[in-house]
Structure 1
Amino acid sequence: MNSPGADLLALLQDVRTLHNEVGRLLSTGEEILRERGWRGASNDSSATAYYSTGLDNPKQWMASEAFRFYRSDDGAPGVLAFVSVLLLPHASDLDKLKLEEPLVTAGWFQYVQIPTITTSVQWHSRWHGYSERTPRADGSWVETLATEIGKTEMDRYRYGFTRVRTFGRPLVQIDSPATLDALVIQPLLEDISRAKS
């Protein structure tokens, strides 16, 4: 029987392992998308945001999501696609988001002009989590049009997109590159393709 301290250490090692696996999932998704004509939309390999390194905000020491954004100017101009793993709700989101388990989400935003990936856009990787009180995890698509949001919110948050479509799957379902491709990447690219035609 382990001591409480050994159990705590094992838990923390498991969290580190989870982060490594999520990183591998996003890297694999990026390789698959690159082979299909998509490239990372940012100039770096950043995959997390909105975390804290300070003593004043320990709730955000661990990332709540990990994500990557993609674009294909030839195949889908004006589309900003993403793959994201929602690990936890942010502390400020507890009244807006009921996350029952970690999710892999994907989707795309339609823009007249795609913005630079900065903190004003990075949080959009959580969009599926906000689309409904309890986000769908069955692979069904959820769509939001800018006209449904309202001008006040659009202006306040400087959204800039005209349309967003997202879906989610339980993280535990994505257990291999083939599953990632079949359940996340292919549906994402097929939906973007259908929308263009």
Structure 2
Amino acid sequence: MTEHVSKTNAAQPSAPREYVNKLLGAFLAIAVVGWGASIFLTAVHFWALPLPSEITPEGSMAVITSTWAYIGPVPLALLGAGYYATMIVLGGLWLETKHELLERGIFLITVGGLAASAYFVYLQLGVIGEICPFCMVSAAATTSLFAIEVIVKYAGGGSIAPAVSSTRIWPPLVVATIAVTVAAMYGITLAPIPGV
């Protein structure tokens, strides 16, 4: 009888589902990748622009130097870096606490990020007529973050999986974010930026 009850409880939807934590870990990894693309583009804006006047920008530089790449004096890449930093912090807290308000807040922020990414892809393909690979990495990252959130939501939410200790989340997350930042900054020195 006890064995039957144990099997029944394990089969109920309220049983913890470890795969949700793996999805949330993937969420964090993707947010770090998005951070890397955005911080690279931000560095290009601050260290490599403006281009010399005799250079006609092509490809990604046409996108990065377009009037669409700024809101006032602020590069969109800097806003993207802020978005991904927010996703990294909130995603880490979500994995640690499984708090429903965090889950809802992250979902709303990511819906906004998805809408912005769709508009930026439209601008690249339709208006500017050039593609920035790092911008497309960011768009793919945001789309992936949204997809993971939808999957977790339909699985029953983050709370169906056990909370993860902060010591298993934050040290590797901080190290990964720093490593990606260093790689992005080093990448600036290798990038074929015209006039630099």
TM over 0.5: no
Structure with greater Cα Rg: 2
User: Higher relative contact order at CA 8 Å, sep ≥6: structure 1 or structure 2?
Assistant: 2
- Greater percentage in strand: 1
Q: So what's the TM-score if we normalise by structure 2?
A: 0.32
Q: So what's the TM-score if we normalise by structure 1?
A: 0.31
